[in-house]
């Protein structure tokens, strides 16, 4: 299979099917390369203590819709965190199974989310807008104690979450909640444009999952990317969600990599995880 790495958590792809991941547009990583070159030692140590896969951790920067540049680090292909966000991430829990969350969750209530439609490179395409609408509907139909109020436009400053377009290969990136608030910035890569609306729905739903506190469901193996990267069984920051099965779940929306045939829908284990937390 051909792998792409480009979706930046959650609940927690057969012959001829393309598999894609969450954040950078590169081929499958050569595991004999050096690890996380140039990352400050304290940042690398913190990421390792949280049991992130730091093999290809790298410095990254993104342009916000207002033109400002946000600098930080990309982990596990689609998880973007600033230095402060990473260093302040809470600890706790054990890695024991497949559905994972962070200690950072969102307080109950309505999350205002906007699809940015500015007339520039950050504006969502029409397919991205439809994918966002479908993704939000996936969450809202579950009757959780968090819900999303979706609008489209350019008045994003007072919104809890902003979904916008950046240059890059197929996929997107996002961060984790902080202080009971969801991650604000959800980036959808321009390289997704060649994929179906269902794949757009999948990628956006996945990145929203990260933004409300979920890690990759194949965190322990990254099997969806054709890898075998077991993070161990005594880490922190990746907490097993009761009621979800152990082992490989090939249809979870929160797998690290996705295929070109995704339907954009939660599977039953994803729904179990969401209902447990929210």
Beta strand pairing call for 19-21 and 3-4: parallel
- The confidence band for 211, taking pLDDT boundaries of 50, 70 and 90, is very high
Please answer whether residues 155 and 177 qualify as being in contact, where contact means their C-beta atoms are separated by less than 8 angstroms.
no
Rounded to an integer, the average pLDDT of 231-246 is 53
Closest CA to 78 of 185, 156, 181: 185
pLDDT digits (tens, 9 = 90+) for 109-142: 999 999 999 999 999 999 999 999 999 999 999 9
Phi-psi region of 178 (alpha: psi -120 to 50; beta: other; left: phi over 0): beta
DSSP letter at 244 equals S
- Per the confidence metrics, is the pTM higher than 0.95? no
d(CA 152, CA 173): 20
Q: How many domains, in total, are found in the chain?
A: 1
Tokens for 268, please give them.
């039953």
Tokens for 260, please give them.
């070109």
Q: Cα-atom radius of gyration of the chain, to the nearest Å?
A: 17
Structure confidence at residue 232 (pLDDT)? 36
List the domain range (segments joined by +) for residue 183: 3-277
Question: Residue 158: which CATH number?
Answer: 3.40.390.10
Measuring CA to CA, how many Å separate 101 from each of 68, 140, 194, 237, 270?
30, 20, 31, 7, 12
pLDDT digits (tens, 9 = 90+) for 9-66: 344 432 233 444 453 322 222 333 334 567 888 888 888 777 676 777 888 888 889 8
What are the start-end ranges of the E strands in 76-122?
79-81, 100-101, 109-116
d(CA 6, CA 60): 13
């Amino acid at each position: 299979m051909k792998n792409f790495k480009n979706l930046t958590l959650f609940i927690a792809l057969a012959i001829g099917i393309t598999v894609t991941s969450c954040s950078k547009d590169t081929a499958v990583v050569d595991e004999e390369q050096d690890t996380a070159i140039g990352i400050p030692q304290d940042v690398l140590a913190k990421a390792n203590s949280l049991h992130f896969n730091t093999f290809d951790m790298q410095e990254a920067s993104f342009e916000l819709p207002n033109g400002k540049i946000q600098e930080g680090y990309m982990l596990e292909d689609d998880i973007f965190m600033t230095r402060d966000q990473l260093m302040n991430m809470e600890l706790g829990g054990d890695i024991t199974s497949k559905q994972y969350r962070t200690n950072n969750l969102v307080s109950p209530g309505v999350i205002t989310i906007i699809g940015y439609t500015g007339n520039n490179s950050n504006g969502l395409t029409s397919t991205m807008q439809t994918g966002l609408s479908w993704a939000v509907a996936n969450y809202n139909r579950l009757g959780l104690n968090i819900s999303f109020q979706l609008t489209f436009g350019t008045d994003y400053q007072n919104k809890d979450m902003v979904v916008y377009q950046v240059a890059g290969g197929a996929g997107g990136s996002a961060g984790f909640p902080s202080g009971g608030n969801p991650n604000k910035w959800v980036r959808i890569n321009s390289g997704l444009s060649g994929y179906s609306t269902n794949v757009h729905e999948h990628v956006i739903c996945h990145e929203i999952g990260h933004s409300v506190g979920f890690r990759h469901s194949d965190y322990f193996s990254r099997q969806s990317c054709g890898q075998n990267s077991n993070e161990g069984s005594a880490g922190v920051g990746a907490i097993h969600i009761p009621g979800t099965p152990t082992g490989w779940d090939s249809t979870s929306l929160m797998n690290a990599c996705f295929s070109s045939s995704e339907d954009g829908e939660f599977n039953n284990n994803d729904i179990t995880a969401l209902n447990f937390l929210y």
